[in-house]
Amino acid sequence: MLNVYLTDLQKTATLDLGQGAKDIAQVMALKKIFLSTADLLEPVLPENVSGKINIAQIGWRSTQSELATFKQLADDWQKLELRLRAYAVFAGREAMDIIVQVAQQQRQARLNEAGTFDANLLEMDVFMLYTVHRQLDQLLAKDKPYATSFLQEWPQFKDTFTQM
């Protein structure tokens, strides 16, 4: 659970990313994936005289709208991650990595086209998510359906299931 101070409502809200104690690690991972994370969720370091920062004590600051947008990005990434992992089982981890890298390169090209200072970072992040989904759809449409491949491993049942 993350404690987030909502600057527009002057109150604290909690954000559960489904990772439990690892929510902070999840936010840090999402900062590497999404360019807009820094604009949506700002870390607030605890005051500490010793100079050491306890990661568990990091707070967060956002507006209600920005927090909802961050939560939606995080949820969409979790759904996409499930799809990517399923594809990796079928095609291999390297294929999954290539799909994400291509989407990141396309996002970077679009960012360069728009100009770094003029670009809408959230739009760029949504574009990357869309690009990964689109690539998966295209790749899965080209491959044989999984059920057909599965039945090739069980030839004795092929006629039983194809009649259904």
pTM of the full predicted structure? Answer: 0.78
Percent share of the chain, pLDDT over 70: 84
Q: What angle do CA 59, 1, 121 make, to 5 degrees?
A: 65
Chunked in runs of 10, what are the mean pLDDT values of the chain (164 residues)?
Answer: 91 84 82 93 81 77 95 89 90 94 93 85 89 85 58 66 53
Determine the pLDDT at residue 160: 59
Determine the pLDDT at residue 164: 44
The tens digit of pLDDT for each residue in 101-129 reads: 999 999 999 899 888 778 889 888 988 99
Alpha carbon distances (Å) from 108 to 45, 64, 131, 134: 30, 28, 12, 17
CA trace torsion 75, 77, 83, 87 (10° rounding): -160
